[in-house]
Structure 1
Amino acid sequence: MTAQQHTHPLYFVGAGPGDPELITVKGRRLLDQADLVIYAGSLVNKALVEDLSCSCFDSAGMDLREIIDMMVQAHRDGKLVVRLHTGDPAIYGAIREQMQELDKQEIPYEVIPGVSSAFASAAALKKELTVPEVTQTVIFTRQAGRTPVPEPESLKNLARAQATMCIFLSVSLIDTVTRELVEGGYMPQTPVAIVEKASWPDQTIVRGTLENIGERIKESGIRKTAMIIVGPALDEASTKASKLYASDFSHEYRSKSL
């Protein structure tokens, strides 16, 4: 089959946070139609791929060149290729370098979004990450580790915003995280929640404040695959409510009550 005969692009698909039912309908359809699936085996729920009739490869032991070569060859052979990433591939998905390589080889592709672990964690906590008059900003970030973080984006600097922060890939550095957040301006009593394996059957939630969450995490045994959410939006005592449904608030679709 020549390049001109291809009827479909290559697909990057967000698998969602873990629960196999949290993949999008489009993502599920593409998996079922695929001839080749390369998935991030360390985080993607195996239930998403175990019943597929196509060829499936775990990319955990593959480097970028091996992944690209396999995808490109399959695509040129006329196969429908799915690159399955955890959560939403736009957040720490490492798809940028893959797309750049595909661009070099003029291979068409599409990105299918998924449910981020940040949103699955908020759902597990039954929390809204934005609260009127409290915070209207959500920051997605991580603590510097083997992968450095630009200094202007250090937790200490970002903490000045006093927004809700969803901190990825950093629970093993919890003492450093809490120290930088307090040094940046969060009060030690600021509420924090850690959600390990959000939406999985063995999901674990640990709640506390910046001054005690480190000890609670050590006691819990959580070491990785966890989301840190911190900020005043988690305040259990807050009674702030949106004006959207208030009886004295009118908008395009509703007049205020007299």
Structure 2
Amino acid sequence: MTVFFIGAGPGDPELLTIKAQRLIGECPVCLYAGSLVPEQVVACAPEGARVMDTAPMTLDETHAEILAAHQRGENVARVHSGDPSLYGAIAEQIRRLKADDIDYQIVPGVPAYAAAAAALGQELTIPELAQSIVLTRMSMKSTSMPAGETLENFAKTGATLAIHLGIRALREIERQLAPYYGSDCPVAVVYRVGWPDQMIIRGTISDIHAKVRDAKITRTALILAGPALGGGHGFPDSALYDAARPHVLRPKAKA
């Protein structure tokens, strides 16, 4: 049997990949993170499948379900939100699978930052303004961050920041980012991106806390910050389509 770690995307069932939908529809066991993955995503599980919401379960309990499926020779769809490679908590699961000699595969999904950018209707990398995206998080009640991975260090780069698990730490985010980006730097908070109750709040580093507080958002939100969020004004066109710059697929410059 095989355990398939499946990225379900941010919440919209239509953002499932074709491969993800096929595997969920084939596996007789489906374990999904119900706090972040809507039931509609796993509604395509086969009739009679063992479908379990793992939100209230421990790692030991979910692994016990996988071991039982292994003994029965049944494939498992282990469905996570977004893309499993980012804050998917799959590393510790894979460690246990390897210890028990159980095969696994990873099926990528649409990450929250990409869905948020789509919801905002803009690009996160603007020529000569921001060409990098930093995916990070606040520690809060989660495991601590490595010593060098601070918002202050990331802010020094001027990159676009995608901050997870930070909605309750907006004051601290303001304190660390304002010296580098300026208090008027644009910020967007995207709540439950891809869900029917999705909400977008735009503001600046200095006023986003008040706006989020007024909206009573306390969880399940992604924070995007950086000059690229302003859309950019007067930036140069990308060299990719510049008629004067030939490349391997357009070997001759055009006048």
Q: TM-score range by the shorter chain?
A: over 0.9
3-state secondary structure, aligned to 1:238: coil
3-state secondary structure, aligned to 2:77: strand
Query: Among 199, 203, 221, which residue is 2:198 paired with?
Result: 203
* Aligned twin of 2:37: 44
Q: Quote the Cα distance in structure 1 between the aligned partners of 2:90 and 2:245.
A: 44
Q: Within the alignment, does 1:174 sit opposite 2:170 as a pair?
A: yes
Q: Quote the Cα distance in structure 2 between the aligned partners of 1:145 and 1:116.
A: 21
3-state secondary structure, aligned to 1:130: coil
1:187-231 CA deviation, whole Å, 9 max, x = no partner?
Answer: 111111111111212111111110111111111111111110011
* Aligned twin of 2:54: 59
Query: Among 114, 120, 129, which residue is 2:115 paired with?
Result: 120
Gaps of 5+ in 2: none
Alpha-carbon spacing, 1:182–1:151, altered in 2? closer, same or farther (3 Å): farther
1:142-192 CA deviation, whole Å, 9 max, x = no partner?
Answer: 112122212311112211111000001111211111111124x12111111
* Contact 2:139/2:165, CA 8 A, preserved across alignment: no
* Contact 1:17/1:116, CA 8 A, preserved across alignment: yes
* Aligned twin of 2:77: 82
Q: Within the alignment, does 1:144 sit opposite 2:128 as a pair?
A: no
Task: Tell me how large the CA RMSD over aligned residues is.
Answer: 1.3
Report the Cα offset of residue 131 of structure 1: 1.4
Report the Cα offset of residue 256 of structure 1: 2.5
3-state secondary structure, aligned to 1:152: coil
3-state secondary structure, aligned to 1:151: coil
Give me the TM-score of the superposition, normalised by structure 1: 0.93
TM alignment of 1:1-258, pairs within 5 A: 8-52=1-45, 53=47, 54-147=49-142, 148-183=144-179, 185-240=180-235, 241-254=237-250, 255-258=252-255
Gaps of 5+ in 1: 1-7
* Aligned twin of 1:5: none
Q: How many residues align?
A: 250
Q: Quote the Cα distance in structure 1 between the aligned partners of 2:147 and 2:211.
A: 28
Give me the TM-score of the superposition, normalised by structure 2: 0.94
